[in-house]
Amino acid sequence: MFDLIISLYPWIKAFHIMSVIAWMAALFYLPRLYVYHAEQVGLEGQTHELFQTMEYKLLKVIMNPAMVSTWLFGIWLVLIPGVVDWSAVWPWTKLAGILAMSGFHGWLGAQRKAFAAGGPIKSGRGYRMMNEVPTVLMVLIVLSVVVKF
**What pLDDT, in 10s, does the model give residues 38-64?**
999 989 999 999 999 999 999 999 999
Position 130 scores a pLDDT of 97
**Residues 4, 147, 129, CA angle at the centre, nearest 5°?**
110
Position 139 scores a pLDDT of 97
The model's confidence at residue 81, banded by pLDDT at 50, 70 and 90, is confident
Q: Is the pLDDT assigned to residue 111 strictly greater than 90?
A: yes
Find out whether 15 and 76 touch, Cβ atoms under 8 Å: no
Number of separate domains in the chain: 1
**Across all residues in the chain, what is the average pLDDT?**
95
Q: State the Cα torsion 58-64-66-69 to the nearest 10°.
A: -160
Domain boundaries, position 61:
2-146
